[in-house]
Amino acid sequence: MTPAGRRILVAAEELFYSRGITAVGVDLIAEQSGVTKRTLYNQFGSKDLLVATYLAERDRRWRELVRTTVDTCERPVEAVTAPFDALRTWSKTNTRGCAFINALAELPDPSHPAHRIAANQKLWLQNLFKELAVAADCSDPVTLATRLFVLHEGALATQPLPIDTLSETADLARALVRASERPLR
């Protein structure tokens, strides 16, 4: 990506996340990034593709943080709830809730390229919970993964409120994982 493209993406991310995707036009993004609309379109082709690129980049950073957090766990059973620990780190700089939930609400058309990225991010997380539960030999890993996913999404959805639901949610997630541990044989 060119330096102008990076500036556009940085400006778009800040604006889309803080104001909403549909509320932000390409004129404002171009102005904030110090480029012309023509440069914006030359770099990204359309606002839809810019939104998709914005979400893809957030997704890349989020997955990298989650994988790093999982990799630091000493035992597989600890890794099952690592996405909650990653969320605590992520939430220090992302306080307006989940960009992917927001995008799914703003872009309901499943054929929109950004909608697909947001939906795939959610499916990836649920699948990761299942993979981690299987690796930890938890009983009924599919059900556990669904429950952990719902808890994680609830923590994200309530993030903008002036209450800390993440601590309670993470504690509940750990309790679910403990309850699903198979006894040592």
Per-residue pLDDT at 184: 65
Q: Is 183 exposed, middle or buried (0-12, 13-18, 19+ CB in 10 A)?
A: exposed
* pLDDT tier, 130 (very low <50, low <70, confident <90, very high otherwise): very high
Q: What is the pLDDT of residue 49?
A: 97
34 and 7 in contact (C-beta within 8 Å)? yes
* Helix, strand, coil percentages for the chain (3-state, nearest 5): 75, 0, 25
Tens-place pLDDT, residues 47-102: 999 999 999 999 999 999 999 999 999 999 999 999 999 999 998 888 788 999 99
